[in-house]
Every structure is written in C-alpha cells, then in structure tokens.
C-alpha cells in the first residue's frame, strides 16, 4: 500500500462516493472528482465546483414563525462548470461506458496535490487510445483550476477532436429527507454575461438574493497543428480543437480555468481576464512544481509518521491533505463541515472548526489557525446583531451555522440553543494565545471577541438563590439527542474557563498595549465591574456532580430519564435522528456524541481522574456515535484512562471514516471535523499532549501493533519533534528557544 496515495481501479463502483474522495481543492476553490467526459445516465453523480464563502440566500418558510427565528438560509452554490472535456477518436466519442476499457487507474497523491486518471480504451472500431488526465487546484494561484490531458494513439492514426466546455447552466442538489444534505433551491445562479477575449471565454453569473457574482473563464494550451473554434450556445461556450495524430504518437493539452467572485474581486470579469492572461504564460508542469513545493512545506510540519500500520497511515495523511485543501485562507471564509468536496450541510461553518479542526492548524501551521480566528472577528458584528435578536442587550452570540455571519439554523433546539458555540470560539482564542504568545492579535481582535462572548454568557446565566452557584439554563450541549436543558456540564465548564482566563489576558494586553486596550474598552463601553463579575461567576460556576454515583450528569435532569432501549433498536434505525422524532430522543438517556466526555478532554483539570473514568464508562454505554465528531474524543479519553484497546478501536473508526465510508454519507462530502479528530487522536490521544499551566504535558502510549510514531509541534515559536516507541518517548528541539515540557507530569528541559 502506498500510504501517500489513494488508488481507484474500479470506475463503476461507488462513483458518487469517489467524486468526494478524489475532489481537488485549495481552500478557495473546490472541484468534485467527476470524470471530464461524464458518466452514463444510470450512475448517480453530483458534478460540483464550489467557492468557499460563495452562497445564495433564500427565505426560510415556517408553519409558525416566532420571534428570533432566522429569516433566511445561506447555502454554498455549485458554480460555473469548467470540468467538461469531450474527446472524439476518428469521430467516436470516448466514454468508459462504451467500447472496452483495457486499463483504468486513478490516483490521488497527497504529496504532489495532483489527481491522475490513466485509461487505456478500445473504441467500438477497435482503435486503442491511452489517455492520462491530471488535475489540480493551485495553492499558489487560488483562483486557478487546471486539467492536463495526454492522448496516445496506440494502434491507429487519424483525427482527434476535443470539445472543451464551460457551462453556466448548473444547479445544486436538494434533499427533503436528510437534514445533513443541502436543501436550498436547486437553481440559484443565473448567467448575466458571456464574453470571448483572445481565445478565452468567460461566463458571469449572479445569485438572485445574496447579490454575489462569480466569473468562470477558460483558456487552453494546445499543439500548434490543432485548429480552434469557439461555439456559443445558451449559457455555455464550447472550444472545439481539431488535429491529426499518427500511430504511436501522442499529444498533450492543458485547460486553464479561473474563478473570481464578488468578495475577493471587486471587478470580477476584468480581474478574471487579467489572471487568465497571466497564468496561460506558464506550462502545466510549472504549476505542478509550485504545488509540490507548497505541499513539501506543509508536510514538513504537518506529517505524522506511523510505523507498523499502513492503513492508519494512509487514512491519516488522506485526512490531513483534505484539511489543507478545505481550510479557508482569507477573512471571508472558514472551513465547512464538508470542506469544498460536496453540498452536505449546505456548506455551513459550525463549532467543528474551533474544537476539532483548529488544533491541527494551531500546532502545525499557526498562520492558518489565525486566519480562522480572523473570520470569526470578521463576523463579530453579525454575532452582536444576533444577540439583540435573541433578547440580549449586551454581548455577542455567534451563529450555530452560517456562511456569511447570519444564523441559518431554523431548528432552534439543536441550533441556536447550542450557546456553547460562543465558548468554543472563546476556547480556541485562549488556546491560540497560550500556544503562540501572539499578544498583538489579542490586543487588536482576540480580547474584543472574548469580552463580547463573556458578556453574553454572563447575561444568560444567574446566581442561584439556594447556594449562590452560577447556573446557565435552557441551552443545548454538544449532544443533539438532549436539547434545551439546565446546566449542561460541557457548556458550564467551558464558560468557567472563559471567565477564569479573561482577566489574565486583559492584564497582559494592558501591560503591553494599553492604548489599543483603551480604544477597545471605549468602543465597547466596558466597565471594570464586568471583569469582576466574570471572575465571580467563574469561581461560582455550577458543575453538576452526583456524589452518590461519583458521576457528572450531562445536565440537571439527565439521570432522571430512562435509558434508551439499545438492545431492541434495529441496526437499520441508526442514525437515530433519521428514524425517531426529536422528542422521543430527548426523553431518554441516549447521546448522539461525546458531550460530558468532551468537556473532560478540554478541561481535564476540573475533575479527578477517577471521576473521568466513571463518566467514560457510563457514557460510553449510551452513546451511539451517530455524529462523526464522537469517536475521536472517546479514543483520546480512552488513552487517558488506560483503556488502550478501546482507544485504538475508536481511532480506527476515525482515521478511515471517509475512505471506508463508515457513516454511509461521504458521497455528500468529506467529514472535516472527523479528519481533524484523527490528528487529535494521535497527538492528544496516543501522545497524550495537553497544555497545562503554559507548558506541554505528555502522557504517551504507543498502540501495541505500532513500532513507532513521530510528529512535530509548533509551540511558542519553537518546533519540537516527538518520537514515540514502545519503550521510549523522545522530544527534540528543531528550531527556536529551549523549552521545558512535562512527560507524565515530570519536568524535562528540551534544548
């Protein structure tokens, strides 16, 4: 097994799933792995190209609309299609579903960033041709998508005709029976202008409601003996190339596709034309070299090496590659639950980013982590507006699901009620500061977000009369099978973290950036008494605990409910959310995903190890893992309590969830949070890394069938290399200053 690559040798099997797996993206642009020439009508296909942050907005229709319900949805759009290439061999159209396929292989290479498809095809006339398609979405020129094709005439000579198409007649998928799939209006993009300029064609399209524009442009590099004509039809251009080929000879051509949109390109058409003129000067191999260099730099710090387990190694590298393909690289975009590989969850950004994906970038590429926080700062005014809509006269409430900043979740019990999105974001801001010491960011952006989040969380809580404990009522925690509860442990413990940490950050900013701080305080009309209130609430935070059972209830009422009848629940009824009314789920002790256990992972110091073990054993029995976010947390915490076999088994279900389609819905897009979780399972699980009192603390344990594990960590601008074997754990300093770490709580100086 080549653990840097994913290889496909059966083009007829699981086609729509493989469109996801072999998608090509760069954080701005994503292209599903569809065949250039198309497929037969009986094969399900979603031929999609997506721009991160480009969306349409539709009115949300309610039977009964109450105050504060979101007015409009936001859905990522399938934009102008530039993938289509039709090849004719002496008049016969190439298709894998006609003639005879003598050889087929497709490879996604995570080291080069290129997807290569190689075919040897015999036409109905017995003419054999070898075709090699290569495609990439450039990391260096984010607007650029490239397809390179070589055609070899194995046993014939004659005419080659190539039709290269750009098509503005596109639509999105619609699903009425699965809330995890897009539900927007299928046809949301309209062509408004079509232009030809110097053998390049351009289509400009506009959304109806969000008033965003996108331009797709194509141009080509072809052998000089081929003629080119351009045919214009309704909503599409076809570039027709004709030439002759001799037996044994081959030709090579490249299709350049460029995308520009309203957010990043104020003059979409002119900027697209300018980029086309620039990129067409370079060969395909020029961009291949740039792609390789970019990924060499990425893998230098991101790679995790597992010796003794090729399947897990392949799964992990596949996941990390898709993360760097999916992560937004500007302030207008984030990373959605499905990345840029499909339309699942309508392209929305969730808390997944901060809790499951952010840590990978924080410890390997802090620049990308900072970009993700910049996006949250960019939509802070939307969060303030949402807070007012929800009846809070102070602070900010971040949307549960969004693209541009507005709340888009129409089902409030498992949407808006998940106020923990606020403290998830706060947690990531605090972690960013602890890991990077970036006080400038905290002064200019981070502290303002923390203050507004803290204000909101203080506003929704109250000091209980009976014991003066600070309580938070009527919220939903991470477990979406238990909604609208009082004192969700996870929400409370992360709110306590915010209230406890904010004073120190405030004082640090004041000591170095007092002028900036004063400006922020004036803008927010912030009073010192608020800081006192946060501190008081943090110390008084109620964290539910049942002393008789030595367990933390997930919320005040959780242990009062009957346990779900798992024994008599048919396998085909999972995931439960597709087969039972929410109220049926809410009345039972049944968890969709890690909730209290996730709280223990993030805030381990708030509980004894004995209590964490008891909680783990209890909640494991009632958790379905219907969410892809769950198994990585159970793997990490199994390691922490010494359940090493369980830790490995949960990791198996995390690292290869998409490759093996374990949730049976990868066809709708990858699971980016689970991908981030696979890295977390390695570093926080098997290596047992935590940040404790400003230092890295490791509790390492190597799975018994592995011979070694190694990875790198960027901590306080020092690069550490960690090597774990069956009987040894070594940490070495590659760059930066000497640093003290802890291994099993014992101090160690790394020089």
**12 inside domain:** yes
The reply to whether 467 falls in a domain is no
Q: What is the average pLDDT across 296-322?
A: 97
The yes-or-no verdict on residue 173 having pLDDT over 90 is: no
- Give the C-alpha separation, 73 to 51, whole Å: 17
Residues 6+ apart with CB under 8 A from 106: 7, 8, 9, 11, 18, 22, 33, 115, 116, 117, 118
pLDDT classification of 527: cutoffs 50, 70, 90: very high
Instruction: State whether residue 180 is helix, strand or coil.
Output: coil
92 within a domain of the structure (yes/no): yes
Q: How many angstroms separate the CA atoms of 397 and 452, rounded?
A: 8
Within-domain flag for 246: yes
Predicted pLDDT of residue 178: 56
Q: Rounded to whole angstroms, how far apart are CA atoms 613 and 638?
A: 9
Task: List C-alpha distances in Å: 415 to 183, 400, 418, 603.
Answer: 16, 6, 6, 24
Report how far residue 30's alpha carbon sits from residue 28's, in angstroms, rounded to the nearest whole number.
Answer: 7
Determine the distance from the C-alpha atom of residue 335 to the mean position of all C-alpha atoms in its chain, rounded to a whole number. 4
Residue 169 belongs to some domain of the structure: yes
Task: Yes or no: say if 404 and 379 are a contact pair by the CB < 8 Å rule.
Answer: yes
pLDDT of residue 665 exceeding 90, the answer is yes
| Token pair listed for 739 | 């640093």
Q: How is the beta sheet containing 729-735 ordered, strand by strand?
A: 305-307, 708-715, 718-725, 729-735
Q: CATH code at 132?
A: 2.70.98.40
Work out the mean pLDDT of the chain and round it to a whole number.
96
In a domain, 649, yes or no: no
Task: Tell me if 358 sits within 8 A of 350, measured CB to CB.
Answer: no
DSSP 272: H
Interval 444-475: pLDDT, tens:
999 999 999 999 999 999 999 999 999 999 99
Q: In whole angstroms, what is the distance from residue 504 CA to residue 519 CA?
A: 19
Query: What are the tens digits of pLDDT across the range 177-215?
Result: 555 565 556 788 999 999 999 999 999 999 999 999 999
SS (H, E, C) 37-86: CCCCCCCCCCCCEEECCCEEEEECCCCCCCCCCCCEEEEECCCCECCCEE
pLDDT at 607 over 70: yes
Does 257 map to a domain?
Answer: yes
Condensed to tens digits (0 to 9), the pLDDT of residues 65-97 reads 999 999 999 999 999 999 999 999 999 999 999
DSSP for residue 551: B
Taking the C-alpha atoms of residue 503 and residue 447, their distance in angstroms, rounded to an integer, is 10
Digit-coded pLDDT (tens) for 215-228 = 999 999 999 999 99
Mean pLDDT, range 367-373, rounded to an integer: 97
Distance, C-alpha 590 to centroid of its chain: 27
Alpha carbons within 13 angstroms on the beta-carbon side of residue 62 total: 14
Query: Would strands 695-698 and 739-743 be described as parallel, antiparallel, or unpaired?
Result: parallel
- Among candidate residues 143, 480, 501, 620, the one labeled active-site is 480
Is a pLDDT exceeding 90 seen at residue 1? no
**Mean pLDDT throughout 651-678?**
97
Q: Which of 284, 287, 270 is nearest to 200 (CA)?
A: 270
What pLDDT, on a 0 to 100 scale, did the predictor assign at position 386?
A: 98
- CA quadruple 501, 506, 511, 513: dihedral sign: positive
Beta bridge partners of 472: 461
Helix (H) or strand (E) holding 457: helix 447-460
Distance separating alpha carbons of residues 658 and 635, to the nearest angstrom: 17
Contact between residue 488 and residue 477 where contact means Cβ atoms under 8 Å apart: yes
Using the predicted structure, report yes or no on whether residue 687 has a pLDDT greater than 70: yes
Helix axes 631-640, 672-680, angle to 10 degrees: 10
At residue 135, φ and ψ (nearest 5 deg) are: -140, 150
pLDDT tens per residue, range 707-746: 999 999 999 999 999 999 999 999 999 999 999 999 999 9
Residue 672 to residue 348: CA distance in whole angstroms = 12
Q: Would you place residue 440 in the very low, low, confident or very high pLDDT band (cuts 50, 70, 90)?
A: very high
* Residue listed under structure tokens 């346990």: 563
Residue 575 preceded by cis peptide, ω within 30: yes
Whether 357 shows a pLDDT value over 60: the answer reads yes
| Cβ atoms within 10 Å of 246's Cβ, excluding its own | 10
pLDDT at 2: 85
Active site residue 522: no
Q: Please tell me the predicted confidence (pLDDT) of residue 186.
A: 77
* Separation in Å, CA 199 to CA 85, 141, 202, 205: 17, 21, 10, 20
Decide if pLDDT at 133 tops 90.
yes
Q: Crossing angle, helix 380-389 and helix 366-378, to 10 degrees? A: 40
Q: What is the distance between the alpha carbons of residues 188 and 200, in angstroms, rounded to a whole number?
A: 25
Cβ–Cβ contacts within 10 Å for residue 455, how many? Answer: 21
Domain with 138, as residue range(s), is 5-56+72-297
Beta strands in 578-625 (DSSP E): 588-589
Query: Domain total for the chain?
Result: 1
Could you tell me if residue 253 is inside a domain? yes
pLDDT of residue 174: 65
DSSP secondary-structure letter at 569?
S
Mean pLDDT of 304-315: 97
347 touches 55 (CB < 8 A): yes
Task: Give the residue among 743, 692, 689, 738 at the shortest CA–CA distance from 717.
Answer: 738
pLDDT value, residue 187: 86
């Amino acid at each position: 097994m080549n653990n840097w690559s994913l290889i496909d040798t059966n083009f007829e099997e699981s086609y729509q799933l493989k469109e996801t797996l072999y998608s090509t993206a760069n954080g701005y642009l994503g292209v599903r792995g569809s065949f250039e020439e198309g497929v037969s009508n009986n094969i399900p296909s979603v031929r999609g190209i997506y721009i991160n942050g480009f969306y349409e907005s539709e009115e949300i229709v309610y039977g009964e609309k109450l105050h504060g319900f979101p007015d409009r949805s936001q859905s990522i759009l399938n934009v102008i299609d530039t993938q289509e290439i039709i090849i004719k061999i002496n008049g016969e159209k190439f298709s894998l579903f006609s003639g005879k396929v003598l050889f087929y292989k497709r490879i996604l290479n995570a080291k080069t960033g290129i997807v290569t498809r190689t075919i040897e095809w015999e036409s109905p006339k017995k003419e054999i041709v070898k075709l090699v398609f290569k495609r990439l979405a450039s990391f260096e020129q984010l607007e650029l998508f490239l397809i390179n094709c070589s055609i070899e005439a194995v046993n014939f000579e004659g005419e080659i005709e190539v039709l290269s198409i750009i098509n503005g007649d596109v639509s999105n998928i619609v699903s009425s029976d699965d809330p995890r799939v897009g539900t927007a209006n299928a046809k949301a993009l309209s062509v408004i202008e079509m232009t030809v300029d110097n053998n390049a064609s351009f289509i400009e399209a506009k959304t109806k409601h969000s008033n965003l524009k996108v331009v797709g442009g194509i141009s080509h590099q072809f052998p000089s003996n081929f003629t080119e004509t351009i045919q214009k039809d309704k909503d599409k251009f076809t570039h027709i190339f004709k030439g002759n080929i001799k037996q044994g000879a081959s030709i090579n051509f490249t299709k350049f596709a460029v995308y520009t949109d309203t957010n990043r390109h104020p003059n979409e058409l002119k900027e697209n034309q300018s980029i086309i003129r620039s990129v067409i000067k370079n060969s395909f191999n020029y961009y291949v070299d740039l792609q390789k260099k970019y990924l060499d730099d990425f893998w230098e710090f991101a790679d995790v090496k597992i010796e003794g387990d090729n399947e897990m190694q392949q799964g992990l590298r596949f996941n990390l590659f898709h993360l760097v393909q999916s992560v937004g690289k500007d302030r207008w975009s984030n990373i959605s639950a499905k990345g840029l590989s499909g339309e699942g969850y309508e392209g929305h950004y969730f808390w997944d980013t901060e809790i499951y994906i952010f840590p990978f970038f924080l410890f390997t590429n802090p620049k990308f982590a900072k970009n993700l926080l910049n996006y949250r700062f960019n939509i802070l005014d939307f969060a303030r507006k949402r807070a007012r809509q929800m009846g809070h006269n102070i602070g900010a409430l971040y949307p549960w699901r969004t693209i541009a900043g507005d709340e888009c979740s129409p089902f409030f019990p498992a949407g808006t009620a998940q106020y923990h999105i606020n403290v998830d974001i706060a947690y990531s801001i605090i972690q960013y500061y602890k890991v990077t010491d970036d006080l400038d960011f905290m002064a200019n952006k981070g502290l303002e977000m923390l203050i507004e989040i803290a204000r909101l969380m203080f506003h929704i809580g109250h000091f209980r009369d009976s014991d003066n404990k600070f309580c938070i009522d009527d919220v939903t925690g991470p477990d979406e099978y238990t909604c609208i509860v009082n004192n969700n442990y996870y929400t409370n413990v992360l709110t306590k973290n915010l209230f406890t940490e904010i004073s120190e950050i405030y004082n640090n900013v004041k000591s170095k950036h007092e002028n900036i701080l004063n400006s922020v305080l004036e803008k927010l009309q912030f009073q010192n008494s608020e800081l006192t209130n946060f501190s008081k609430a943090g110390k008084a935070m109620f964290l539910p605990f049942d002393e008789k059972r030595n367990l933390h209830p997930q919320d005040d009422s959780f242990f009062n409910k009957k346990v779900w009848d798992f024994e008599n629940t048919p396998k085909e009824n999972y995931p439960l959310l597709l087969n039972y009314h929410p109220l049926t789920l809410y009345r039972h002790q049944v968890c969709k995903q890690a909730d209290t256990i996730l709280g223990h992972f993030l805030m381990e110091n708030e509980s004894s190890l004995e209590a964490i073990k008891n909680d783990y054993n209890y909640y494991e029995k009632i958790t379905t893992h219907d969410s892809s976010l769950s198994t990585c947390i159970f793997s990490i915490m199994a390691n922490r309590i010494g359940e090493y076999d369980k830790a490995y088994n949960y990791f198996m279900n995390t690292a290869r969830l998409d490759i093996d389609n374990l949730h049976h819905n990868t066809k709708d897009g990858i699971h980016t949070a689970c991908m981030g979780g696979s890295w977390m399972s390695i570093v926080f699980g098997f290596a047992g890394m935590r940040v404790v009192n400003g230092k890295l603390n490791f509790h390492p344990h190597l799975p018994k069938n592995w011979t070694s594990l190694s990875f790198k960590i960027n901590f306080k601008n020092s690069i550490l290399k960690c090597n774990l074997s069956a009987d040894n754990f070594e940490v070495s300093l590659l760059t930066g200053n000497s640093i003290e770490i802890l291994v099993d709580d014992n101090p160690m100086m790394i020089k």
